[in-house]
Chain A
Amino acid sequence: MGKKVAIIGTGQTNHCSSREDVNEMELVYEAAAAALKDAEMTIAEIDAVVLANMELFEGRALHDMWCGEGAGAFMKHSFKISTGGTSGTSGAISGYYHAASGLFDRVMVVGFEKHSDGNTLAGMALTDPFWDRHVAAAAIGNFALSVSEYMADRGVTEEQSAKVAVKARRNACNNPHAHLQMPDLTVKKVLESPVLAYPVHRLEMCPQSDGACAIIFASEEIAKKRCPRPAWVRAAVTRHDHIYLGEVKNRLATMRSLKEAAKVAYETVGIKEPLKEFDVAEIYDPLTYAEIAWYEALGFCKDGEGGKLIDDGITQMDGELPVNPSGGVISTNPVGASGTIRVAEAALQIHGRGGRRQIPDVNLALATGYGVYCWSDVLILSSKPD
């Protein structure tokens, strides 16, 4: 068992489709400076820096080299984590490991992506050259394969999916950092948006955003001294699965890696009824259908009942378990930062610094990351260290 560690500060840029006022390193700087301000810390106090980014999307390799200084890594211990969509949560887990090892007392993690610089197709087109590249159609097509199977298997409807999009973009209106804020979005408008790949509509998918997010982890002694209400990391679990879609067991419908990561994290903390015990969840929803599938994989309900959860308003801001008060990935998606944002938003809710998106009295928060079917990350944060 590692040492006790808490998140004591977070910082985000404003996320949007194109931040032409800053280059990528400056975007990283903006988030890092915001997190230091939130934690009332100086860069001199930081012992280690972990960066997280999705490779190739900006048409630039070795981001730790190009952007490390933006995170204050000059003359410090620093490296990058890259696990696809999970990069941001895996980076956060790595930051936690650093502090929990006892070797570092104050660790900064920065997840970032400047989508407008590049082309996500660079990452998506350079998939497996033997079995994938010549027969598949990248992220949206691959999601659509899983979604059509999931709908057929579990009976989830397109209206239920559209309700998730409406919830997300309306919640995003309370988040000053969010990219897609759509107060007037309706189920009808979502389903009238063009079908990109059957059965997925444009407004059911996440956007591509420019943005960065930073988190500061601290050892027990420092956290208690420097933060009035630290967000203690109680579990951090990652699980790996096949990458080839033909080998993943029932894909979205099973989501074996997320189920397994959640099982281990829940056992670590002693959670038996996640829907009742968590006060808020920030889950990595790359598209609407995934959020419903994650409800099932995370044990918020039984398999096949995810659609009912959204129908009954259980995951709305005033429901039993608000899911993604920030608006989620469906509203804001700077990929390398998207996972970091989930952890930061969960911490923010415990810190009580959520502003208009604050849920009252949050003591236990869940954050997850999704990286194709290949990786799932689960973190549990608490207002109590044990």
Chain B
Amino acid sequence: MNDNGERMVLAGKVDLPFSYSAGRTASRFFVELRDHQKIMGKRCPRCLRIIVPAQLFCKECFVETDEWVEVGPEGTLLTFTVVYRKENHHPREAPLAYGIIRLDGADTSIVHLLEETDVTKLEHGMSVRALFSEKREGHIMDIECFCPV
């Protein structure tokens, strides 16, 4: 008898719920999105950047943001990709297109889905516009995706 025989590999699976507090700043962002279809940022009083999505403090200056500012809903597509393989946790079936969008009036960018999944029709620097969902629940998916203008 030696240990060069069969190898045992045991199966495992865990299914557990979590609940994440958004905090007061992101909560207001989600309420504005749900109730008024507005995308809100906050200004850093030191570097004067409009940070989107709105955040309690500026991570670069380490001071609390002050003024609320509406941005978008149009913006510039800084970069994009189209993913051709579906994984369990992906938000949509493949092909799935998403990108990084600098909303008009903002100094930081957001990551979101793109309606157009044909890579030949996407361009760096093209204009895109937020498409709001019909049923909004106070969630980043209250923006369904971004569409070419």
Contacts and interface: CB of A to CB of B under 8 A. Distances in A.
Interface of A: 20-21, 59, 121, 124-125, 129-138, 140-141, 144-149, 152, 194-200, 242, 244-247, 251
B81 to A, nearest CB: 4
- Interface size class on chain B is 35 or more
B109 A198 contact: no
Contacts of B85: 196-197
Which 9 pairs between the two chains have the least Cβ-Cβ distance? A149-B79, A125-B89, A144-B81, A246-B109, A20-B7, A197-B83, A129-B20, A137-B83, A152-B124
Contacts of B108: 246-247
B88 interface: yes
Given A124-B89, A134-B141, A148-B80, 12 more contacts: A20-B9, A21-B7, A130-B22, A136-B111, A137-B90, A141-B96, A145-B79, A197-B85, A245-B109, A246-B111, A247-B108, A251-B79
A114 to B, nearest CB: 11
Interface string B36-57: 0000000000000001110000
B111 A245 contact: yes
A145 B81 contact: yes
A231 to B, nearest CB: 36
Contacts of A144: 81, 83
B136 interface: no
Contact of B100 (A133, A138, A199, A246): A246
Interface of B: 7, 9, 12, 14, 18, 20, 22, 26, 51-53, 59, 78-85, 87-91, 96, 98-101, 108-113, 119, 124, 139-141
A338 to B, nearest CB: 21
Contacts, number: 108
A247 B26 CA distance: 16
Contacts of B100: 145, 149, 245-246
A131 B90 contact: no
A244 B54 CA distance: 13
Contacts of B110: 131, 246
Contact of A196 (B22, B84, B101): B84
A242 B59 contact: yes
A251 to B, nearest CB: 8
